[in-house]
Amino acid sequence: HISSWILIIVVLILMIASAGNLAADGPGASRSFVSGNFFFILDNARCGFVKSIDGGGISAEVINEPAGSSDFVKKHISQPKYEAFTAEIGFSMSKEIYNWISESWAMNYKRHNGAIVAMDYTMKSKSEDQFFNALITETTIPTCDGSSKEPSYIKIQFTPELTRSAAPEVVDTGNYSKIEQKMWLPSNFRLVIDGLSCNKVNKIDSFTVKQTAVTDDIGDARDYAKEPGKLEFPNLKITLAEVDAQSWYDWHKDFVVNGNNDESKEKDGYLAFFLPNMQKELARIIFHNLGIFKISRDKSEANSDQIKRVTAELYCEKMEFKYAGNVI
């Protein structure tokens, strides 16, 4: 009987000790967590939540040394390389991030520091990736499609000189977790080009503005600097109903066939994004020096019920990005 009581006491002591350890660590302290919220901070400004985030890793090249007296190939690594981040953003973030895009397109290059904070469903910070001296290297405008009903997002790629993983700090998300998101559907757009009828434009293909970031290789530097290189504005691919395409055909004939394609024959225009009610403008892309170089009829099937459309392709020398608050 005494040995039974001793065994019971030992079991109770172990149970109490285990409960104490659980309380000290906190319930679920070592559990995995679902991180579905990513908060963007730019130069200490709280910019809001992004749709998705990717990249930001740190790697190094493996260098082989085949020469030497060893029977096997010696290896070591080079300087660290910092991957670019790619983020999808909507129109519900603070103006700082849209101004960064505008500055980049205007070749007013400014390097920015910031962080991406991953949060769980309770908005508790779980991890933080910091970046330093970053430049925007790509901005992708999604396809504008009159038949689409799914929301779309602008994709930006920014390349930092340096990244660090830091202990997450408590982030005050303010009203960003409560505000009504400014949903943008790809069908909520308006295209205007000088002298052209754009009433029947139903699609504008996705396009990307690219800015190279050139590495400044310095022999005694472990982390290399990034300098802005060339800025490249893409061509536009626009689809519209053929019934409204006569002005486009006339411009193509004069510009391409007849050869009247000097700068005075180029056109300006803009692409505006709206809320679903088409009353509130969210942002605008202004086009400068547009020139048409191709127009063609889309493929049609006999005895099919479809609207006859044509596709025009235009070059563009310069674009400006204007957030709603800055639209004239």
Q: What is the pLDDT of residues 245-304, one digit of tens each?
A: 999 999 999 999 999 999 999 999 999 999 888 888 999 999 999 999 999 998 876 666
Q: How confident is the model at residue 328 (pLDDT cuts 50, 70, 90)?
A: very low
- Residue 146 burial (C-beta neighbours within 10 Å; 0-12, 13-18, 19+): middle
Residue with tokens 């063609």: 296
Proportion of the chain above pLDDT 70, given as a percent:
80
CB 226 within 8 A of CB 133: yes
Q: Three-class SS of residue 244?
A: helix
How far apart CA 239 and CA 140 sit, in angstroms, is 19
220: pLDDT strictly greater than 70: no
Helix (H, G, I), strand (E, B) or coil at 171: coil
Between CA 230 and CA 282, with CA 232 as vertex, the angle to 5 degrees is 125
Residue 223, pLDDT score: 60
CA–CA gap between residue 141 and residue 236 (Å, rounded): 11
Predicted confidence at residue 24, as pLDDT, reads 46
The whole-angstrom separation of Cα 74 and Cα 20 is: 50
pLDDT reading at 169 higher than 70: yes
Q: What are phi and psi of 36, to 5 degrees?
A: -110, 10
Q: What confidence tens digit (pLDDT) does each residue in 106-123 have?
A: 988 889 999 999 988 888
Question: Residue 224 and residue 215: Cα distance in Å, rounded?
Answer: 6
Structural contact between residues 274 and 287, judged by C-beta atoms closer than 8 angstroms: no
Burial class (CB in 10 A: 0-12, 13-18, 19+), 228: middle
